Copies of this chain bind each other. A is one copy, B any other.
Amino acid sequence: MILTILHPGEMGVSVAAAAISSGHKVLWVSEGRSETTKKRASFHKLEDIKTLSNIRESDMVFSICPPQSAVKVAKAVAETGFEGLYMDANAGSPEKKHLIHKLLESNNIDFVDGGIIGPPANSEGSTRLYVSGERCDEIKAVFTDGFLSVLSLGDEVGKAASLKIAYGAWTKGASALILTVRAMAKNAGVEEDLLHEWGLSQPDAEAMTLISATLNSPKAWRFVSEMNEISETFALNGVPNVFWDAAAEVYERLKDFKNVPNEKVNIDLVLEKLIEPNEDI
């Protein structure tokens, strides 16, 4: 099988690696991509087909990028004349998946909805790709080896997206919430008292603020659009949704930590960014 992955970041190359170790050929498109991406793709033995017009020879295209680019990428693929199977595995809303599905369908491209849960698939059992849509079992059949587990949620486009949205709503929402709480306590002069009380009655809370600050701040810039997709999806489901408007604001305030190495992220700097007066609020 010949697969193209658009555009392979850390998650994307780990999916590519699983496909390669399952015996498939994996292509990528270097046009417009950064040097970091080029090095990563070459290191993992993805084959560079340079421009998007060369994807027509692929059996499947996987789109794995931040959700705000998902529609643009799908449109560009539709314009190439590609007529294989397309999986969007971005953290987008079910509504966005339906939109992409329709857009591709009218160009004779079949669609599978995908949602990835876990870190890049670099160890056994760490990462699951959930898929839904009529041909989702074909995606599952690709991955016979490697570290990515693929689970089918049935025929309906939107199920994989809903699961990914719900999952991220808790993990990323709770991280934003607890960082905000510690920032408020710091500003009100009771941070040490809160940490002491947490030590007595919420034994995981302080560690959660440290982990959230360290692991999420460097990725905060791309969480903003994900939080917006979550908020819209929750509103459409008739449940309270503004938790994720607040979470989007938290990650917006942390966007300057983009790509700062984890070990250089300091909890105090993160909390100060959250306290910063912001005229948008």
Contacts and interface: CB of A to CB of B under 8 A. Distances in A.
Interface of A: 94, 117-118, 125, 128, 130, 153, 156, 158-159, 162-163, 165-167, 169-171, 173-174, 176-178, 180-185, 187-190, 193-194, 197-198, 200-202, 205, 233-235, 237-243, 245-247, 249-250, 253, 274-278, 281
Contacts of A153: 190, 193
A190 B164 CA distance: 10
A246 B242 CA distance: 6
A193 B113 CA distance: 15
A185 B166 contact: yes
Contacts of A194: 163, 166-167
Contacts of A281: 235, 240-241
Q: Is the interface of A mostly helix, strand, loop or mixed?
A: helix
Contact of A237 (B156, B174, B184): B184
Contacts of A246: 240-243, 246
Nearest to A241: B246
B184 A233 contact: yes
Nearest to A250: B240
Nearest 3 interchain pairs by C-beta: A162-B188, A166-B185, A243-B246
B241 A275 contact: no
Contacts of A239: 180, 183-184, 187, 274-275
Contacts of A188: 94, 158-159, 162, 165-166, 233, 237
Contacts of A128: 197, 200
B173 A181 contact: yes
